[in-house]
Amino acid sequence: MDTPAVESHRGDRNPSLIRISDFDFSYGDKQALFDINMDIAEHEVTAFIGPSGCGKSTLLRCINRMNDLIESARIDRGKVEVNGLDIYDERVDATELRKRIGMVFQKSNPFPKSIYENVIYGLRIQGINRKSELDETVERCLKGAALWEEVKDRLDTSGLSLSGGQQQRLCIARAMAVGPDVLLMDEPCSALDPVATAKIEELIHELKNDYTIVIVTHNMQQAARVSDRTAFFYMGNLIEMNATDQIFMSPDKEQTEAYISGRFG
């Protein structure tokens, strides 16, 4: 990476994994993102915060090209690079990309299948059907998602029979099974109670060692608790991105301070 980091930072940083540069994005006539520049470092938790409609989820979905599913979505300018590779290059296969960059959604969405089948879905679609490999993956991923102890005796019951927090951890396990480097989390705790939220947050801490995590959250305390770096968005613009402590203690921009101190948003 020869271009310098776009924003200032202090202290040691892991090398950058995802680089977004001069990025403009629209839904039809409506521009959603304006000139975004940022680096997301490996093995860190990066939080996107900002009021509703500020574009944080949109940007998250640009990182694994989920916005391809929306007909009117369009990139006007700039690029997103992962490991130095422009992911919107026409030679890039979006399905391969999504295997490398997993995603967890706001509302837990296990398939109406058994817990076991939910976890190995990503392997099944790759044509992997060897029982020993599947079994091993299920155990590893459920353990990784801190769900193994709770469900190991009922792997063949429906994923929908779990509680909300368990369902969300099942979704994380499911995303892990494909073996991604990055996990994108789109407000993973917004539908959960505080106890379940605490469990997920704890999990995020542990996952940091193996994955690069980007989390969109509405909850500023959560961003402060789990993330290493925080990016604040407002009206489709990246206002400020910095170490989380820095953002919450002494933000550079006035808008950031106004938002985190609760004056708007």
Partner 1 sequence: MDKRSSKTRYQLASNRKSFLGLTKESALKGLFGGNAFVSIVVLGLITLFLFKEGAGFFGQYRDSLLLYRQSGLEYVELMRGQQNALSALTRYLNSIRSRQIEKLAEEGYDFQESRAIMEESEDFFYDFEDLAVPLREHVIEANEILSAARDSYQEMQNLSEHRESLLKSGRQDEADALEIREIDFALFFDIVKSRESEYIKINENLIRGIEGILPSTPDFGDAELQAKTERFKELAEMFIEEVSKFEENVLAWERSRPVPISEAFTSFIFGKKWVTNSSIQDWYGLIPLMSGSLLVAMVAMFFAVPLGVGAAIYVNQVARSLERDLIKPYIEFISAIPSVVIGFFGIAVFGTLIREVSGWESLAWIDFFPISERLNAFTAGGLLALMAIPTIFTLAEDALNNVPLSYKEASMAMGSTRLQTIVRIIVPTALSGIISAVLLGFGRVIGETMVVLLCAGNRIEIPRFAEGIGVVFEPVHTMTGIIAQELGEVVHGSMHYRALFMVGLVLFLISLLINYFAQKIVMKFQISRG
Token representation of residue 78: 């700039």
Beta-carbon count within 10 A of 60 CB: 21
Pick the closer one to partner 1 by CB: 55 or 102: 102
Beta-carbon count within 10 A of 28 CB: 11
Q: How far is the CB of 130 from partner 1 (least distance, A)?
A: 18
Residue 172's closest CA among 196, 200, 197? Answer: 200
Pick the closer one to partner 1 by CB: 134 or 224: 134
Q: How far is the CB of 72 from partner 1 (least distance, A)?
A: 9
Pick the closer one to partner 1 by CB: 126 or 261: 126
Pick the closer one to partner 1 by CB: 72 or 250: 72
Q: Residues in the site for partner 1, rule: CB under 8 A?
A: 64, 66, 69, 71, 95-99, 102-103, 105, 107, 109, 111-112, 121-122, 124-126, 158, 160, 171, 174-175, 178
Distance between CA atoms of 122 and 259, rounded to whole angstroms?
Answer: 39
Decide if 14 contacts 211 (C-beta within 8 A). no
Beta-carbon count within 10 A of 191 CB: 16
Token representation of residue 99: 């295997």
Q: How far is the CB of 188 from partner 1 (least distance, A)?
A: 13
Q: CB under 8 Å to 261, separation ≥6 — which residues?
A: none
Pick the closer one to partner 1 by CB: 98 or 225: 98
Q: How far is the CB of 79 from partner 1 (least distance, A)?
A: 21
Q: How far is the CB of 158 from partner 1 (least distance, A)?
A: 8
